Structure 1
Amino acid sequence: MPRSTRTARRTFCRAVAAAVALGAVLLAGCARHGDEGGRTTVTIGTFGVFGYKQAGLYREYEQLHPGIAIKESVVERNDTYYPQLLTHLAAGSGLADIQAVEVGNIHDVATGQGHRFEDLSRAPGVRRSDWLDWKWAQATTPDGRTIGLGTDIGPLAVCYRKDLFRQAGLPTDRAAVGRLWAGDWQKFIDTGKAYMRRAPAGTVFTDSAAGIYNASVHGYAERYYDRRGRPVYRNSPAVTASWGLAVQAARGGLTARLRQFEKPWDQAFANGRFAAVACPPWMLGYIKEKSGDAGRGAWDVAAAPRPANWGGSFITVPKAARHKAAAIALAVWLTAPAQQARLFARQAGVPSTPAAYAMPEVRDARNPYFGDAPVGEIFAAAARGVPTLVFGPMEQQIGTAFTDVGIPQAEQQGKPPAEAWQAAQKEIENAVDE
């Protein structure tokens, strides 16, 4: 997940790393654009693991289309990948035929770079009705062009340890657990307080206050910007409520005071340090990897207090792509409901196409590691309730100012909430030009 730049040293290091990576990608781009063996080579640029290769979809498409070869170039982190993409767009060169865009950047691309991408709403085989309304809207430009086709989404659930809940005197059945906090993240905090009264030795209720903040804030349509594009992060109900929940959890001793995606967080999964975590679908694999065999059957999945979305991406076709027609055809095929359903079955990426939810790969999906939880049913239900989120140009910078600067000061450094809030505001003011 992207992280904000908190110090001059980190900024410098990232700039150097990005420059080195950019040079490597440019060199690779010169090599990979050549067609091979009489076939048209369609190149795809992604960040992280999209799962198309791992699920065998590239190989299948090549078998269905013998004249096509697919080459994927992967940059591990989006905060390196996205600056490279912007550089290539400005230069009009070095671009892959298909470029992935993360949800946190799609507003910036659609509003500021939309003229550099093909309008995929006009592509053969594309039907707007196939996608969730809110997902389609995110990649639509102000003049009505849709420049990205939605891939996965991140509808929210809660992953919890049945063994620790049982020892704390709480229910363990996933339906009963979901009822503990249904409709309100404050009930989640209240459940945490009940857990702490009888918490097994050495454990706390949840991993981090920032995790609670993210889970709550992503359930509101307007968070950092309103529908007119004005910054509202200082007083929006979403930020106010979510900040209050995070501070309440931090000051109440409900959290392990960890930073997500850092090594101590990984170790806490393995050690059974906390009992519950806000859990998008992509986190299931992460938990399985970090908890290992000891966590098999101990973890389960329940509905979150409110529908929310945390994560997800799009694939686009730049106008400067070398093989636009072939790239558009591949992008349409990869994001069709049937392929999204198969990707969910193999890689756990929840489809952004509701038609996929009725397909066996999603409808009947269960996760044996998480107590055979009906993950297809749980995440599909959550996806249908997600509001159409309003994004602004500095979305990620504002969000990470709260989660990476303000909240840690209150949670890990013990600073007064008002002081931590001001630190977050100062970080935002340094990044946002209003």
Structure 2
Amino acid sequence: MTVAGAFLGGASGRLLPAAAPLRFFGAAVVYHVLGWLVLAFAPGDALDFRGGLGWPLAALHLFTLGVLGMTALGAAAQLLPVATRQAPVGARALAWIWGLYTPGVALLALGMGFALPPLLALGGTAVAVALATWAALVALHLRGARGMPGVCAHAWSALVSLFVLLASALLLAAAWLGWNVPGRQFTLPLHLLFAPFGFMGLLALGLSYVLVPMFALSQPPRERVQLASCALIAAGLLLAAAAALGLAPPLARAPAWALGLAGVLLHLLEMRRALATGMRKELGRSFVLVKCAWGALLATLVLGGLLWTQLQVPRAEAAFGFALLAWLLTFVLAILQRILPFLAALHAAAGRKRGPTASMLTHDKALNAHFRCHLAAFAGLALAIAFDANWLARAAAIVGLAGAAAFAFFHLHLLRKLRAAGV
């Protein structure tokens, strides 16, 4: 049976109320607009950013916590029950998490932008409590898992990474408040390691084993390959963390990078196999974005390897940050534009002989505008980094803002259609 068949076969008993995931996805859409808005018009040039507080850091966290985090929380809450063959997490608990997490991200970004550590600490605490609560709910859910061990292994690894991420983030916030925090030289490397690659990365790779075959109508990926990929990436993260903490020699960075690269290559080969064997060959613009995201992932690993070897490569740090954001943001938006109509159509069809299809809930012109603007924005940012042109970075951000507005229009169109269907 395909993953799509498994999802549809048990959808009626595993769907959250429509408002539960949609509020997370809606907040992600809003923060997507705000991230580009800050990058385009806020004081401070992103290419000149060398650490500390400021609007470039705020924009980064609007994208990571606001877009990536929101989407991860909503998608995992709905998709993990499919993977583990269990009833979904309670909608009331998810509403409480959303109510704490959403303003927390806003306060955190404002504290970073205006360089107000107390406001940053308040927002960061709210975000940390919300994420820890969500992690506890997911862990309880995973304990009773009855399927897809590869997906579950990625989820467990992502949860462990999340707690390292939260600990490092709280220590960084305490340092900004002026507290005497021990081991400050270790907190930022751990944060940069476990935030994108540990929590966000492993969760994205794990959920890909559900989402890609589901939309391609292919057989589930091989479990042994999923587990091997997860083990390699987790081993690479642990070895890299040991090197960052001084528990392993600096030379350990090379095998850590090689382990992570091997795990990612295994994952991408399995994704290629799923697309090649799927019954649906024409997957549209969204999967063009997915493939671009996979290319950005490989570029991220190559640039990360150059940084870890401490070679003096011009603008390597800016290029690494750009590739990292391009990977995660492009992948999340590509998947989000498929998940939203798919889930909305399932809810609209509940209790009806015929409900609106996913294509009927999609605004194709808006998604086409987003597709063009998104790719143009990241192409512009790449050129801005190559030529060290801050004006070009701002122009690219304005194009990204136009794409984000088009994506928001697509989301509003879907909500109107859903309301008209009585959901």
TM-score of the aligned structures, taking structure 2 as reference length: 0.29
The structure where helix makes up a greater share of residues is 2
Greater Rg over alpha carbons, structure: 1
Relative to total residues, which structure has the larger strand share, 1 or 2?
1
